[in-house]
Homo-oligomer: A and B are copies of this chain.
């Protein structure tokens, strides 16, 4: 944003389709940053058009991926709009764990999280300073620990209860022709 601040929309993890949102749009004011080394497969707009003509089943799958993507963004919106910093942080870290474990990167209750506190703060719409205090609260309540780039969830049940976390919006099955 103009004042130097930024809002992180979402965090992409291995296997995600990057940039699907902006594929068909000319104007776009968002960008990407890498947090780790990444392995990319690039696909041009040309290819998308061909795919839609030749393999409509793949095209449906693409729309499905866009829908899943949007479900995550929408939940993020609800998270920021209706939860305080504590529940918001808990919800975000629970979600990230679930998503990572779904693609086989660590367990949902203990995973590598290469985010600095200031990045996490930009994603959650709070100050880095306040996030630091929130993390301390979570640590002292023996709910969750974030140390040396590793998230460890100590009490998933209480955490999910407090955050109002329900992973239903992550468990989407690909569409199949009935």
Contacts and interface: CB of A to CB of B under 8 A. Distances in A.
Nearest to A74: B9
Nearest to A66: B66
Give the most central of A21, A28, A81, A124: most B CB within 10 Å. A81
Given A25-B67, A29-B166, 5 more contacts: A28-B71, A49-B56, A52-B56, A80-B125, A81-B124
A129 interface: no
Contacts of A25: 64, 67-68, 71, 172
Nearest to A3: B164
A26 to B, nearest CB: 6
Interface residues of A, number: 54
A169 B62 contact: no
Main secondary structure of the interface of A (DSSP, over half): helix
16 contacts: A5-B82, A7-B81, A7-B82, A21-B70, A22-B67, A24-B175, A26-B172, A27-B168, A27-B171, A29-B166, A48-B60, A56-B56, A63-B66, A66-B66, A77-B80, A80-B81
B74 A73 contact: yes
B63 A24 contact: yes
B60 A49 contact: yes
A105 interface: no
Contacts of A7: 77-78, 81-82
A27 to B, nearest CB: 5
Closest 9 CB pairs of A and B: A81-B125, A52-B56, A7-B81, A7-B78, A24-B64, A53-B56, A7-B82, A77-B77, A24-B175
